[in-house]
């Protein structure tokens, strides 16, 4: 079986070993990535070679951005948090810090918004800013983008996933600031409703065009939104269902209308709304942050395993950065035994592999996942 066949079989409930595995969203922290490339004797820009070396079963893509040039500012008055930062304005008109270590949002355009007119007047992104017929992954330069059918043929042995980070709640919080945003939900729901509707309208049209351009070429359509801490949701489940669930229902329908599975990346303690997401059409839950409240893998598998594929699970906060090689291998086996039973599991980390992970642990994780109970066919 090819990696793609194994992913598709697992998503359809076939228990097979080794379980399909991935490099989380095809991304690794730049400094750790450099160590891994050196370990495997690969060129500095050989992302595909690294994915193959780590036995990744999935390839990700996004469409080519052709919109207005995104501004950069290296001489900003904003307080610098990291050395060597640069400020980049994204398609939403918000500035963020892009540094060697991570990414942080900075100014909040709706911090002082007082009317719905203020929200409506914001320069919202336009779905026309993308060429949906040319795709590559986020790590690739613009010249690497190729026609969808060519990209699909190049990756025909792998499960092909289209999409990525596409937040609704998290973007609304980004634009207000999280404290202000949560207060607006309670005190000025008209402002939050206008914001969420603008975000949802853009994402619906963007993903509709993306899916139509890739119909027959993509296996999975993916989104990402964080709306939980590691202890609980960031708002009451009833409010989340009121404000955000209807949009997710419409987005997941786009995947199904185009013959694709629907996947959602969402960190933290999302247990209380997993059932709602499944009812709305979610097929794959990304991250599975098992160290968060209510996210015990055995309980998740027992409650949702007949309907939902789990993607993730491997702890990136304690076991990978601080554990021994044997600790890592033991946890890999535990997750595969628990979440891999009866299929519907894709092994990967609960978030990106960061630079605090020893290379020995990263290699041991992938080796154990690929070799444990392996019966290759």
Tell me: the pLDDT tens digits for 334-349?
999 999 999 999 999 9
Comparing 94 with 128, the larger pLDDT belongs to 128
- The pLDDT, as a whole number, for residue 249 is 99
What does the mean pLDDT of the chain come to? Answer: 92
- The pLDDT, as a whole number, for residue 102 is 57
Mean pLDDT of 238-257: 97
> Does the structure show a pLDDT above 60 at 369?
yes
Rounded Cα gap, residues 243 and 237, in angstroms: 10
Residue the block writes with tokens 């939104």: 225
Domain ranges of the chain: 3-67+126-371
- The pLDDT, as a whole number, for residue 24 is 86
Rounded Cα gap, residues 267 and 303, in angstroms: 19
Q: 3-state class of 155 per DSSP?
A: coil
Which helix (H) or strand (E) element contains residue 88?
strand 86-89
Torsion of CA 184, 187, 189, 190, to 10 degrees: -100
DSSP letter for 161, please.
E
Per-residue pLDDT tens digits for 16-47? 999 999 998 878 888 899 999 999 999 998 98
Cβ atoms of residues 156 and 164 within 8 Å: no
Is residue 374 very low, low, confident or very high in pLDDT (cuts 50, 70, 90)?
confident
Mean pLDDT of 221-242: 97
Which CATH number is correct for 3-67+126-371, 3.30.540.10, 3.20.20.210, 3.30.70.270, 3.10.580.10? 3.20.20.210
Rounded Cα gap, residues 249 and 197, in angstroms: 14
Mean pLDDT of 99-110: 65
- The pLDDT, as a whole number, for residue 376 is 52
Question: Residue 21: left if φ>0, alpha if ψ -120 to 50, beta else—which one?
Answer: beta
> Does the structure show a pLDDT above 90 at 105?
no
- The pLDDT, as a whole number, for residue 80 is 43
Mean pLDDT of 129-154: 94
């Amino acid at each position: 079986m090819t990696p793609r066949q194994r992913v598709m079989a697992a998503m359809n409930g076939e228990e097979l070993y080794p379980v399909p595995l991935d490099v989380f969203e095809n991304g690794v922290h730049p400094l750790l990535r450099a160590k891994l490339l050196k370990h495997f004797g690969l060129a500095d820009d050989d992302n595909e070679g690294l994915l193959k070396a780590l036995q990744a079963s999935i390839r990700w893509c996004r469409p080519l951005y052709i919109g207005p040039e995104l501004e950069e500012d290296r001489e900003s008055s904003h307080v610098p948090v990291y050395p060597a930062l640069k400020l980049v304005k994204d398609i939403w008109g918000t500035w963020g810090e892009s540094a060697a270590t991570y990414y942080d949002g900075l100014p909040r355009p709706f911090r002082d918004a007082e009317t719905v007119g203020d929200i409506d007047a914001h320069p919202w992104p336009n779905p026309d800013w993308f060429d949906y017929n040319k795709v590559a992954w986020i790590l690739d330069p613009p010249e690497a983008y190729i026609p969808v059918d060519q990209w699909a043929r190049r990756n025909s042995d792998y499960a092909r996933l289209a999409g990525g980070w596409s937040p609704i709640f998290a973007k609304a919080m980004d634009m207000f600031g999280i404290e202000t945003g949560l207060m607006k939900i309670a005190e000025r729901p008209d402002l939050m409703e206008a914001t969420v509707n603008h975000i949802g309208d853009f994402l619906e049209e963007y993903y509709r065009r993306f899916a139509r351009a890739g119909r027959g070429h993509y296996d999975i359509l993916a989104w990402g939104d964080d709306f939980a801490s590691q202890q609980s949701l960031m708002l009451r489940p009833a409010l989340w269902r009121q404000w955000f669930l209807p949009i997710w229902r419409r987005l997941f329908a786009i995947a199904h209308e185009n013959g694709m599975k629907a996947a959602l990346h969402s960190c933290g303690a999302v247990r209380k709304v997993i059932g709602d997401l499944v009812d709305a059409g979610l097929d794959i839950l990304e991250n599975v942050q098992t160290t968060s409240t209510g996210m015990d893998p055995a309980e998740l598998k027992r409650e949702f395993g007949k309907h939902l594929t789990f993607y993730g699970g491997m702890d990136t906060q304690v076991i990978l950065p601080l554990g021994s090689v044997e600790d890592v291998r033991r946890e890999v086996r535990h997750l595969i035994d628990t979440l891999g039973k009866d299929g519907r599991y894709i092994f990967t980390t609960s978030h990106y592999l960061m630079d605090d992970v020893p290379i020995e642990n990263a290699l041991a994780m992938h080796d154990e996942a690929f070799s444990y109970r392996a019966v290759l066919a």
